[in-house]
Amino acid sequence: MPKLLLTLLCITFLISSCKEGKNEIPTTENDLIEKPEFAIVIHGGAGTILKENMTPEREAAYKAKLEEAIMVGHNILKNGGTSMEAVTKTINVMEDSPLFNAGKGAVFTNAETNELDASVMDGKTLNAGAVAGVTNIKNPIDLARAVMDNSEHVMLSGKGAESFAEEQGLELVDPSYFFTEGRFNSLQRIKDREKTELDHDAKAAYYDTELKDYKFGTVGCAALDKNGNLAAGTSTGGMTNKRWGRIGDAPIIGAGTYANNETCAVSSTGWGEYFIRAMVAHDISALMEYKGLSLQEAARIVIQEKVANLGGDGGIVAVDKDGNITMEFNTAGMYRASIKSNEDPADWYL
Ligand code: ASP
């Protein structure tokens, strides 16, 4: 619709609704744009990509996989499926791709193993499920969902989580399934470098510059379905060179993932230690709930001020109960995509 016409409509509607009562007065142009019936947003990790490392072929591969993933979720939502189904199935596509640091392609621990973390949350019930440090589950996001649906717990870790996965009949793989050469080489470079630099600033500079693409890759999704239910999920291999059973923000409800039908659904990616300390995903929801902020403003404060002031970096994708989408990051980039029901799916890529 031409902008002038929309503005005129805005004014006409404002004048007429003023007569009808306070609650119906639209305050912005956005209020007059039809709310989407459903919406979905995904990320494939935040960080720095150097131009020389991003060949046209590589970029095309990421773009194709992001498109494939988001279209899976979009179609589920379009056909009336739940936001939880859309979130998990969308994440499965990225977990199965070696391009991302989740499932196949996960980063390596200091002990040269892969330990995967994942979580999901249902905004309608506030139920949640999470797993940490699993080594043989093909799709950790499915295990997180099984924990939510079929156990009385919220978070399972390590061997116990793996036994539960077996009982649930989830697909198990040999740990070697997760190996990729790029991630392995990345670990070796960090180990070499670590011998000389261990303080915070040196590590931060190193993560910013030398890890390049390797810092990218955690995956996440947030969605709103036709019934107005929100859901979010996050899946990751964590951070390269992690040790001592380190667990990041991704499986921590409130840090890496949060969903509440009253506010929003959020999935985080970034330097997990900071995202845990800032309780990023829940903080965004809380700013909306208690302070009445918009999703966009709440996300900006948490990512650009709270996390950044602590010294952390990363980003989030989120959708609110009205289908507004936000993709906020304080890194140089974040793989991301979104589609609303009232948008052309061809415009999904940012
Ligand atoms: N947040 C993840 C972690 O700290 C890593 C990432 O998102 O890149 O485990």
Identify the CATH number of the domain in which residue 63 sits: 3.60.20.30
Atom of ligand 1 lying closest to residue 248 CA: 9
Per-residue pLDDT of the chain (350 residues; tens, 9 = 90+): 444 433 333 332 232 333 333 334 445 555 556 799 999 999 999 887 665 567 889 889 999 999 999 999 999 999 999 999 999 999 999 999 999 999 999 999 999 999 999 999 999 999 999 999 999 999 999 999 999 999 999 999 999 999 999 999 999 999 999 999 999 998 998 888 777 655 666 666 665 555 444 456 899 999 999 999 999 999 999 999 999 999 999 999 999 999 999 999 999 999 999 999 999 999 999 999 999 999 999 999 999 999 999 999 999 999 999 999 999 999 988 999 999 998 877 766 55
Q: Is the dihedral of CA 36, 40, 46, 49 positive or negative?
A: negative
DSSP, res 253:
B
Residues 161, 13 share a domain: no
272 lines ligand 1 (CB under 6 A): yes
pTM of the model: 0.87
- What the block records as the tokens of 255 is 């840090």
Residues 189, 67 share a domain: yes
DSSP, res 237:
-
Residues 305, 179 share a domain: yes
Residues 147, 13 share a domain: no
DSSP, res 307:
I
207 Ramachandran zone, left/alpha/beta (phi>0; psi -120 to 50): alpha
Counted domains in the chain: 2
Q: What is the Å distance from ligand 1's center to 338 Cα?
A: 21
Residue of 82, 90, 218, 234 marked catalytic: 218
Atom of ligand 1 lying closest to residue 272 CA: 4
Host domain of residue 270: 38-347
250 lines ligand 1 (CB under 6 A): yes
Strand 219-224: give its sheet, edge to edge.
155-157, 128-134, 116-122, 230-236, 219-224, 39-47, 333-340
Atom of ligand 1 lying closest to residue 275 CA: 1
Q: What is the Å distance from ligand 1's center to 249 Cα?
A: 7
Give the pLDDT of residue 340: 95
Give the pLDDT of residue 22: 34
Question: 154 — phi, psi (to 5°)?
Answer: -105, -35
238 lines ligand 1 (CB under 6 A): yes
Give the pLDDT of residue 326: 97
Q: Whose CA is nearest to atom 7 of ligand 1?
A: 269
Residues 26, 53 share a domain: no
Atom of ligand 1 lying closest to residue 273 CA: 4
DSSP, res 306:
I
Residues 269, 132 share a domain: yes
> In terms of DSSP bridges, do strands 155-157 and 128-134 run parallel, antiparallel, or are they unpaired?
parallel
Residues 23, 42 share a domain: no
Residues 136, 266 share a domain: yes
Residues 118, 11 share a domain: no
- Contact at 8 Å (CB) between 90 and 96? no
Residues 296, 183 share a domain: yes
267 lines ligand 1 (CB under 6 A): no
218 in active site: yes
- What the block records as the tokens of 249 is 């923000």
Q: Whose CA is nearest to atom 8 of ligand 1?
A: 270
Among candidate residues 50, 91, 84, 56, the one with its CA nearest the CA of residue 70? 91
Residues 14, 101 share a domain: no
Total residues found in the chain within this entry: 350
213 lines ligand 1 (CB under 6 A): no
Residues 191, 259 share a domain: yes
